[in-house]
């Protein structure tokens, strides 16, 4: 069994160029990971593979039962209540592996995003599709839940398409990686680590080839210039303008040189040199190495004049069916605070409680876990209506966060990862003194997550970040609030 996409092209309405152009790719049984920067077309390709959208050109294998598990978790899966009522062997196994309680489907709206994600994936696996596409399945999941998910996915025997920035998950389940790059979609064997190592070897070889091509072009250009000077001197020697009209011997020598074809030989050599230069330029153009944007987002950013931005008094706050014990906590004007803990422990509840205690006149930028469709459309409309200077600042910011500024606003769909970058870029126009982000690396590709990590680490104001990504929190925060077992502890 194999799913084949042949010469697929697709453009979103309003886009000036297709997001996928003449892509051919085969998905055999097992998991294939789709890698690439936000907005490159990974989700679009997964949706095309599952038949959720139709390509503008090309074809795909028909007759396969497909299931698509989206990034967003707000809407309950279609098969949720059928799964809840089922106690066949697969349903029981999924509940056991993913640590799902029997009543969780019936209180879906009250679950944390991580718990909703596990139910969403469980329902997709329970349907036993021929093709299963999972779009960022580890978003919102803590470390234990990610391990549970890897075990569940490893048991799937169909054709799996995995869109993810989770290196550990890709290494655990993927047999091959299809990477979106400047030259198209390139398939490499193995999980993320193996595919990345192969890509780095190819990049190193490309850099060497580009350096060699530049050297060759420079040598040929210098040689052409030297020969041009020699030809000019030879022309001067063959000119009869400076020869004495009575010097018949000198005129005869010049005529003999012309007659014997020395001029023609030099002309042929010049043509050959031009051909070599043209070949060298083509070699240099072919040795393409993708560039990355770099820079600082915080040129005009300043900490608040207030030394304390947030004070949480000690007490207990409602959290799900119980309460959360909160000690006295403070956030200073330059504090970078990370909030961590398992799914369902109360991290988002603590964050919501903290927001209510902020002074109303404090310029705060808040970026939630999920962005609704109406909010996304309003954001894009605002960006398109900005004055040229402000819009240029926004696009410069997203470029430094590893997105193509010329393409990010095209069409009527912007990826969730790109929306988060745009929200950050637009929010910076208001010069916030506190940035609050709930799961900031969700939906971000690896390069974008690293760019965001570096940017937030350098932010001169205050940060309040909720994340399951421990390396990310370690890199850009200096204080930690841990939410676990009904209590908040500072460490």
Per-residue pLDDT tens digits for 168-213: 899 999 999 998 887 688 899 999 889 888 888 877 887 787 788 7
Task: Write down the H helix ranges in 239-261.
Answer: 248-259
Instruction: Return d(Cα 456, Cα 315) in angstroms, integer.
Output: 30
Which residues of the chain fall below pLDDT 70?
183, 230-273, 277, 280, 283-300, 406-413
CA distance 93 to 456: 41
Instruction: Measure the CA–CA gap between 46 and 59, rounded to whole angstroms.
Output: 14
Q: Supply φ then ψ for residue 306, to 5 degrees.
A: -75, 135
Q: Which residue has the tokens 């940035």?
A: 435
Question: Could you give the count of Cα atoms lying within 13 Å of 44 in the half-sphere of its Cβ?
Answer: 25
Q: Which two tokens stand for residue 58?
A: 């090309």
Closest CA to 141 of 470, 421, 477, 481: 470
Residue 173: per-residue pLDDT? 93
What pLDDT does 259 receive?
45
178, two tokens:
């299809």
Closest residue by Cα to residue 41 from 192, 179, 195 = 179
Distance CA 362, CA 224 (A): 66
Q: pLDDT tens digits, residue range 268-316?
A: 556 666 777 677 677 666 655 555 544 456 656 788 999 999 999 999 9
Tell me what pLDDT residue 269 has: 59
Strands 487-490 and 479-484: antiparallel
CB atoms inside a 10 Å sphere around CB 235: 11
In the numeric block, which tokens belong to residue 10? 């697709």
For 139-176, letters b (16+ CB in 10 Å) and e give bbbbeebbebbbebbeebebbbbbbbbbebbbbbbbeb
For the chain, percent of residues with pLDDT exceeding 70:
85
Alpha helices in 56-133 (DSSP H): 80-85, 89-97, 113-126
Supply 348's token pair.
């988002």
Reference 164, options 294, 298, 36; nearest CA is 36
Mode of pairing for the β-strands spanning 315-319 and 322-326: antiparallel
Beta bridge partners of 159: 30, 131
Whole-angstrom distance, CA of residue 207 vs CA of residue 368: 40
């Amino acid at each position: 069994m194999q799913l084949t996409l042949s010469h697929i092209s697709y453009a979103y309405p309003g886009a000036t160029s297709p997001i996928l152009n003449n892509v051919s790719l085969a998905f055999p049984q097992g998991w294939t990971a789709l890698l690439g920067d936000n907005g490159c077309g990974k989700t679009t390709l997964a949706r095309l593979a599952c038949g959720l959208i139709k390509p503008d050109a090309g074809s795909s294998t028909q007759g396969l039962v497909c299931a698509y598990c989206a990034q967003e978790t707000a809407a309950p899966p279609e098969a949720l209540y059928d799964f809840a009522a089922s106690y066949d062997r697969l349903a029981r196994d999924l509940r056991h592996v993913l640590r799902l309680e029997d009543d969780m489907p019936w209180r879906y709206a009250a679950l944390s995003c991580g718990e909703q994600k596990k139910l969403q994936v469980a329902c997709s696996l329970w349907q036993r599709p021929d093709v299963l596409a999972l779009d960022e399945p580890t978003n919102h999941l803590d470390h234990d839940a990610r391990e549970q998910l890897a075990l569940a996915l490893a048991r799937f025997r169909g054709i799996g398409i995995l869109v993810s920035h989770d290196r550990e998950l890709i290494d655990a389940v993927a047999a091959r990686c299809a990477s979106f790059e400047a030259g198209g979609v390139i398939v490499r064997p193995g999980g993320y680590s193996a595919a990345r190592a192969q890509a780095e070897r190819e990049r190193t070889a490309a850099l060497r080839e580009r350096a060699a091509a530049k050297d060759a072009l420079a040598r040929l250009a210098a040689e052409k210039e030297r020969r041009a000077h020699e030809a000019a001197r030879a022309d001067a020697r063959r000119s009869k303008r400076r020869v004495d009209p009575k010097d018949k011997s000198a005129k005869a020598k010049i005529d003999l040189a012309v007659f014997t074809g020395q001029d023609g030989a030099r002309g042929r050599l010049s043509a050959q040199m031009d051909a070599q230069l043209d070949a060298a330029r083509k070699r240099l153009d072919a040795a393409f190495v993708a560039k990355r944007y770099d820079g600082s987002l915080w040129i005009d950013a300043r900490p608040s004049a207030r030394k304390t931005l947030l004070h949480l008094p000690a007490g207990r706050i409602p959290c799900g069916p119980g309460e959360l014990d909160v000690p006295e906590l403070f956030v200073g004007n330059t504090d970078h605070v990370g909030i961590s803990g398992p799914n369902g422990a109360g991290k988002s509840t603590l964050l919501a409680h903290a927001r209510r205690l902020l002074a109303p006149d404090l310029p705060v930028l808040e970026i939630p876990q999920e962005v609704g469709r109406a909010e996304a459309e309003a954001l894009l409309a605002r960006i398109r209506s900005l004055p040229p200077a402000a819009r240029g600042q926004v696009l410069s910011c997203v470029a430094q966060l590893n997105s193509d500024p010329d393409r990010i606003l095209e069409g009527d769909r912007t990826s969730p990862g790109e929306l988060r970058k745009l929200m950050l870029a637009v929010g910076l126009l208001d010069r916030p003194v506190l940035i609050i982000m709930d799961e900031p690396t969700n939906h971000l590709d690896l390069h974008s997550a690293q760019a965001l990590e570096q940017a937030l680490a350098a932010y001169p104001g205050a940060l309040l970040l909720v994340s399951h990504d421990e390396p990310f929190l370690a890199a850009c925060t200096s204080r930690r609030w841990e939410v676990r077992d009904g209590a908040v502890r500072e460490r």
